[in-house]
Amino acid sequence: MDLYKSTAHELHEKLVKKEISSVELTYNVYDRIAEVEKDVKAYVTLDKENALAQAAKVDKMIAAGEAIAPLAGIPGAIKDNISTKGLRTTCSSKMLENLNPIYDAHVIEKLRADETIFLGKTNLDEFAMGSTTETSYFGTSHNPWNLDLVPGGSSGGSAAAIAAGEAIWSLGSDTGGSIRQPASFTGCVGIKPTYGRVSRYGCVAFASSLDQIGPITKDVTDAATVLNTICGVDAHDSTSLPVEVPDFTKALKQDVKGLKIGLPKEYFGKGLDPKVDAILKKAIADYEAMGAEIVEVSLPHTEYAVITYYIIAPAEASANLARFDGVRYGYRNMKATSAPEMTTASRTEGFGSEVKRRIMLGTYVLSSGYYDAYYLKAMQVRTLIRKDFEEAFKQCDLLLTPTSPVVAYPIDGKMDPLAIYMLDVCTIPVNLAGLPGISVPAGFADGLPVGMQLIGKLLDEETILRAAYTFEQAHDYHKVMAPLGGK
Amino acid sequence: MKYATVIGLEVHSELKTKSKAFCSCSTEFGGEPNTHVCPVCLGMPGALPVLNKQVVEFAIRAGLALDCEIKKFNKFDRKNYFYPDLSKNYQISQFDKPICEHGHIDIEVDGQTKRVGITRIHMEEDAGKLVHSGATIKTSESSAVDYNRAGVPLIEIVSEPDMRSAAEARAYMEKLKAILEYTDVSDCKMQEGSLRCDANISVMPEGATEFGTRAEIKNLNSFRALERAIEYEIQRQIQLVEDGGTVVQETRTWDDGKGMTLSMRSKEEAHDYRYFPEPDLVPVVIDDAWIARVKSELPELPAARKARLMQEKGLVDYDAENIVSTKAMAEYFDEAAKHTEDSKGIANWLLGDVSAYLNSENITIEKFPITPANLGEMVNLINKGVLSSKLAKKVFAEMLKTGKTPQALVKELGLEQISDEGAIVKIVEETLAENPQSIADYKAGKDRALGFLVGQIMKKSRGKANPEMVNNLLKERMQ
């Protein structure tokens, strides 16, 4: 049986009915990994022994007649910038190649409490800085739809693992699109919750005011299921919101009648691949046919979002990554003869070029004499972008945009960094405003998946889940398996 | 030319919260290295700070005690610099919006009261500690880092450049320390580093209005070091100017052994701290009710306590000022005063023999071996005439050694003063009979004769006869 093709909610049913065992399922997924991982390279680290022990534990629980949580016994994959106690957490960096964390991230604690299974840690762009996984110290992950293409990033490993059947569900993190864009490139569902919905405690910080953990899954139901487990206020994260967490699976109604869907015109302008545009136009027509009302809205400061992001995110990163100094943990240059020399050499050798580029950018924009012109101005623009959304949401319940203006592109490292930065134009504003956003498969362009982004009001994941679910159930895009072609 | 000195102080005071500023680790001093640590204060990847509200509470309390305005909107900022004892390589601090502003302290120097302004107080976290294998960082093969202190909360109290001498700076520092102790926000142990001070010093021609270029002096670990360092630095700067040189803006360190300040880094080498708002912490808004509550719970401060001691206990200004200069001394006084009516007597002992003993032993009143009750009882014994002041010193010395009560020691040592009139009359008559010439001299108006006779009687009684009674009886018998 190809259990690895199933969704978490299907497998949960089978486990509860004792049609399958968790050990059987876990073996099945590892077998799949053994089969395709050499081509996909989704993982940095696998943890088969512990995963199987945990599966056996869940099987005992089921045999004993205990009630189990929806993710219990169901193998998932964790982006390798989320701290797992005793399990290497590298951030795909030479700097942390040998880091075994002494503590679990809050989301990991919650998932463990639900008796889920961790298959291993997935590849990412180094410290989540990138949109392709090409900046990973451990090599690039490949897009299961065409192995010559990037899977997107930075959560490219988590997305590729889902698309290739190497995990049932996975966690990513999203600072400027790092969950939604790879989900879009690999035909998965990926949601970035409202900033503060999920505790960031244990997610190695890239840009603290933007980072948010979220699921990448095969369908919307699984995304809601994982969200149910990982959301909630955490005493270890001051920015986590002290609000009640709804049962997100209850929001999954097949009905968009009367919903007002806004189309921000700035997202459908130049730079948008006509094939992507055509697929989205069709999706919009589908929504209209299903009873939603379509309105055009404007987010006038959209054109400043990317440059604003590339000031704020590197500024925060320059401080967040300062702790990697070779003193307490991580890579250390052993030839240095003084502490300052050791730190400089360790950072020079331990970080890759994209990370260093962003640290330099961030250091520059915070420097005395430049702070007002760059950082302060960017913070002001960020407020304007947030206000744009507030205005738009006076006219609609949610927004519909492309997730990415393009489909997955080749792994060749030929793209100019600045051109890649600009491709995050649809996802970045959502992080700047702290809003929830989901990417759902909307169709295929020349055999490659195209994602549609739905953006919700603050803390209104439910509306975008409902709209995404309705669309998904009316189509079969999420049921198509990636062919692992190319090469 | 005559010169005027301008001094401003930056004081760091560790707050005595039970747990650290941004995690739940203990703040206790002196544990085994790296035993009071967790992912947060070690700066492990992914760990996040969470503010300990007690830090804000203490900062408000200190601010109110120093007559500051409490700012309602508070945020934290990251101060970026690389140093191995700083686990995140940024310090969580407050940059442009400190919690307290516009306070002041009134100091007294040479009988004059002077007001020293407090510019600001802000909250921040302490760093860890480097432990060098050798004597200094330069001569060490390696250094280890102890992060027990990393994340311990601090307040930094910045004064206006209002002080004009080392004595004023010392008086300010002493008063500040007393206030922080009274409010119970800090241990203020300078040796343990829970109270630290940097001084900004400049000189200018007397009468000038524009301040000279300042040097910042670090590593001032005691009042004495503060005073000596300022004295030295003033002379250094004056000498420099007199010799035609100019003072450069720089950071200097006080070398206590050499008794001089040494250059650490120039203005050009100064850090660009690249402050920006700490995104991991949400702003803290302090409402009126919070401020009002802290205000209502403020303990008695030195100025109020001094006034009370003068009014209720009849102490003179000088004595009261010195008694309240440390909270521990004031508390010792209050406790001892519960055991005797003679508050003045307690004050005399505390500021006399007790202080002399503390100075000679280099300890503070907390470690003083005589209990307040015993000191009070001793004063009572003196007042009742049981102990002469001379014998009291003997008893005091024994109390220091043994910790026994004065009553017990008087008995044990047979020191009880003879106040029995019959016994004294007997010695007086005996002595008069032996010294007829002295009687004649006394009657002839030679007052010295009286002193001689008293001395003879004290000798016979081995110092135990009540001198007042001896005097009276002698005069009576020789009339």
CATH code of residue A441? 3.90.1300.10
Query: What's the number of domains chain A is made of?
Result: 1
Whether B284 contacts chain A with CB within 8 A: no
Is pLDDT of A161 > 70? yes
Residue with tokens 């309602």: B72
Instruction: Specify the 3-state DSSP secondary structure of B253.
Output: strand
Give the one of B145, B275, B276 whose C-beta lies nearest to A327's C-beta.
B145
**DSSP type of residue A87:** B
Which residues of A belong to the active site?
79, 154, 178
CA dihedral A29, A35, A36, A38 (to 10 degrees): 120
Is pLDDT of B269 > 90? no
Domain regions of chain B by residue span: 3-293, 300-412, 421-478
Is pLDDT of B136 > 80? no
Give the one of B39, B51, B90 whose C-beta lies nearest to A322's C-beta.
B90
Domain hosting residue A27, numbered range: 3-256+435-479
CA dihedral B17, B23, B25, B28 (to 10 degrees): -30
pLDDT in tens, B104-132: 999 988 888 999 999 999 999 999 999 88
Whether A329 contacts chain B with CB within 8 A: yes
Instruction: Specify the 3-state DSSP secondary structure of A354.
Output: helix
pLDDT in tens, A197-237: 999 999 999 999 999 999 999 999 999 999 999 999 999 99
Contacts of B280 in chain A (CB under 8 A): 205, 208, 237-239
Number of Cβ within 10 Å of residue B377's Cβ equals 18
Give the one of A102, A200, A239 whose C-beta lies nearest to B282's C-beta.
A239
**Residues A323, B88: C-beta atoms closer than 8 Å:** yes
Return all residues near B368 (Cβ < 8 A) that are at least 6 apart: B332, B354, B357, B358
**Residues A83, B145: C-beta atoms closer than 8 Å:** no
Whether B239 contacts chain A with CB within 8 A: no
pLDDT of res. A487: 65
Does residue A250 form part of some domain?
Answer: yes
Tokens found for residue A429: 């504003």
pLDDT in tens, A394-405: 999 999 999 999
Give the one of B43, B48, B82 whose C-beta lies nearest to A328's C-beta.
B43
User: What is the residue-wise DSSP string for A124-167?
Assistant: -SGGG--SSSTT-TT----BTTBTTB---SSTHHHHHHHHTTS-
Q: How near does any CA of chain A get to the CA of B64, in Å?
A: 27
One-letter identity of residue A206: F
Q: Does domain B421-478 have CATH number 3.30.110.30?
A: no
pLDDT in tens, B305-355: 999 989 988 888 888 988 998 889 999 999 988 888 888 888 988 898 888
Contacts of B88 in chain A (CB under 8 A): 319, 322-323
C-beta of residue A193 within 8 angstroms of C-beta of residue A227: yes
Whether A328 contacts chain B with CB within 8 A: yes
Does residue A120 form part of some domain?
Answer: yes
Q: Which residue of A has its CA nearest to B270?
A: A368
Helices (H) and strands (E) in chain B, counts: 16, 16
Return all residues near A287 (Cβ < 8 A) that are at least 6 apart: A256, A261, A294, A400, A467, A471
Percentage, residues of chain B above pLDDT 70: 99
C-beta of residue A235 within 8 angstroms of C-beta of residue A269: no
Q: What is the mean pLDDT of residues A400-427?
A: 89
Instruction: Specify the 3-state DSSP secondary structure of A186.
Output: helix
Q: Which residue of B has its CA nearest to A316?
A: B279
pLDDT of res. B456: 84
Whether A367 contacts chain B with CB within 8 A: yes
Does residue A272 form part of some domain?
Answer: no
**Residues A322, B276: C-beta atoms closer than 8 Å:** no
Does residue A428 form part of some domain?
Answer: no
**Residues A200, B48: C-beta atoms closer than 8 Å:** yes
pLDDT band for position B394 (cuts 50, 70, 90): confident
Cα–Cα separations (whole angstroms), residue A448 to A123, A143, A473, B182, B395: 21, 10, 20, 72, 99
**Residues B89, A201: C-beta atoms closer than 8 Å:** no
Q: CA A50, CA A159: separation in Å to the nearest integer?
A: 23
Q: How near does any CA of chain B get to the CA of A435, in Å?
A: 17
Number of Cβ within 10 Å of residue A341's Cβ equals 12
Average pLDDT of the residues of chain B: 90
**Residues B45, A323: C-beta atoms closer than 8 Å:** yes
Cα–Cα separations (whole angstroms), residue A460 to A233, A397, B1, B319: 16, 9, 75, 69
Average pLDDT of the residues of chain A: 96
* Strand ordering across the sheet containing B90-93: B90-93, B77-80, B276-277
pTM confidence score? 0.89
Return all residues near A328 (Cβ < 8 A) that are at least 6 apart: B42, B43, B44, B87, B145
If phi over 0 gives left and psi between -120 and 50 gives alpha, with beta otherwise, what is residue A326? left
User: What is the residue-wise DSSP string for B385-403?
Assistant: TSS-HHHHHHHHHHHHHH-
Q: CA B53, CA A455: separation in Å to the nearest integer?
A: 36
pLDDT of res. B345: 86
One-letter identity of residue A315: A
One-letter identity of residue B312: E
Is pLDDT of A417 > 80? no
Dihedrals φ, ψ of A217, to 5°? Answer: -140, 175
